[in-house]
């Protein structure tokens, strides 16, 4: 069965990755339409389906579209996704607009696939950091329910879109021109229009805007989305999200406690067969560079807790543009077709 597919936000970093993944996975595209803001409308983009003209989302007619992959921000999703659904499309939305809507399934492919069955035309793609953690936490939770998570994320600048990666490049060049100043403290802030502090040669313990109780929106996403995906609103979650000077690849260092003590041998056995992941042994340390450009989420540093025995500490890292966004969206579209 071939279907008509639209990518909304087609000229962004995630939109471009969606195009590539549709081709890589031989998705049955009968027609591909590219939509974006008025600023990008009229651009000609080369694709495996020929050179395509980017349409203006605001006045595009969604008639005839079967699957719409949205990655254009929450505001545009709230404004336009309903009219795509009314025209007959199934919308896979990569923004935060519908994630916590009780009528919209929030699905990590290979973790909670069954949740998609109740969709009413919109399926939400989780936040990239939550998604990465769920690839490891989900299989463990299935065997013994998780009761508490302490999670510290190390999020790449690519999570801020193309501009985030540009800022990192610019500041690395500017600050790297005087390495002695980085040691002496005499460095000069190059200034940027995205982050509250320099990201070049630095880490910023504030990913996303501040929200309730002094936690950022990225941290609240990790809390609320984890509970929804694992279908347990009682899970205790302590999050800290940090922006780090990498291009792609969100990492999460997590401590997990379960309803019963989880032996290390059991945890490693579960993780060694978790779909969509690779479990790396102690002599191989998975890093963001290792995760860049691949579909699998990498798991490493798996060990027993020592402060309070019975839990599991682990490290997980995944390409935020692929499994963290575009790949999962395409996988959800595949699941829609299967159903």
Residues identified as active-site:
128, 250
Cα–Cα distance, 19 to 24 (Å, whole number): 9
Of 336, 227, 327, residue with least CA distance to 277: 327
Q: What is the chain's Cα-based Rg?
A: 20
Of 55, 54, 2, 70, residue with least CA distance to 31: 2
**Are 165 and 271 spatial neighbours (Cβ–Cβ below 8 Å)?**
no
Q: Which two tokens stand for residue 32?
A: 């591909």
**Are 212 and 205 spatial neighbours (Cβ–Cβ below 8 Å)?**
no
Q: Where are the alpha helices (DSSP H) in 32-127?
A: 74-86
Q: Which two tokens stand for residue 125?
A: 């793609």
Cα–Cα distance, 10 to 13 (Å, whole number): 8
Centre a 10 Å sphere on the Cβ of residue 181 and count the other Cβ atoms it contains.
Answer: 12
């Amino acid at each position: 069965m071939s279907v008509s597919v639209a990518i909304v936000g087609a000229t962004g970093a995630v939109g471009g990755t969606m195009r590539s993944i549709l081709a890589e996975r031989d998705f049955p595209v009968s027609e591909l339409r590219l939509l974006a803001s008025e600023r990008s409308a009229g651009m000609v983009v080369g694709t495996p389906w020929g050179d395509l003209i980017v349409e203006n989302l605001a006045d595009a007619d969604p008639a005839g579209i079967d699957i719409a992959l949205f990655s254009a921000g929450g505001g545009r999703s709230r404004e336009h996704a309903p009219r795509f659904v009314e025209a007959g499309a199934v919308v896979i939305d990569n923004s935060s607009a519908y994630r916590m809507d009780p009528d919209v399934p929030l699905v990590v492919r290979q973790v909670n696939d069954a949740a998609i069955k109740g969709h009413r035309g919109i399926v939400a793609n989780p936040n990239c950091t939550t998604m990465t953690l769920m690839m490891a936490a989900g299989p463990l939770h299935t065997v013994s329910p998780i009761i508490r998570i302490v999670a510290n994320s190390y999020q790449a600048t690519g999570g801020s879109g193309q501009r985030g990666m540009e800022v990192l490049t610019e500041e690395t060049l500017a600050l790297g021109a005087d390495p002695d100043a980085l040691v002496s403290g005499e460095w000069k802030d190059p200034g940027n229009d995205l982050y509250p502090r320099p990201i070049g040669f630095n880490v910023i313990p504030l990913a996303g805007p501040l929200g309730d109780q002094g936690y950022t929106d990225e941290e609240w996403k990790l809390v609320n989305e984890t509970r929804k995906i694992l279908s347990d609103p009682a899970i205790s979650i302590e999050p800290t999200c940090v922006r780090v000077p990498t291009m792609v690849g969100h990492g999460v260092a997590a401590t997990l406690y379960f309803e019963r003590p989880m032996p290390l041998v059991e945890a490693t056995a579960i993780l060694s067969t978790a779909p969509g992941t690779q479990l790396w042994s102690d002599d191989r340390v998975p890093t963001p560079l290792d995760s860049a450009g691949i579909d699998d989420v990498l798991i490493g540093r798996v060990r027993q807790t020592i402060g309070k025995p019975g839990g599991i500490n682990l490290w997980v890292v995944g390409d935020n543009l692929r499994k963290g966004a575009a790949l999962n969206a395409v996988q959800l579209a595949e699941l829609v077709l299967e159903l």
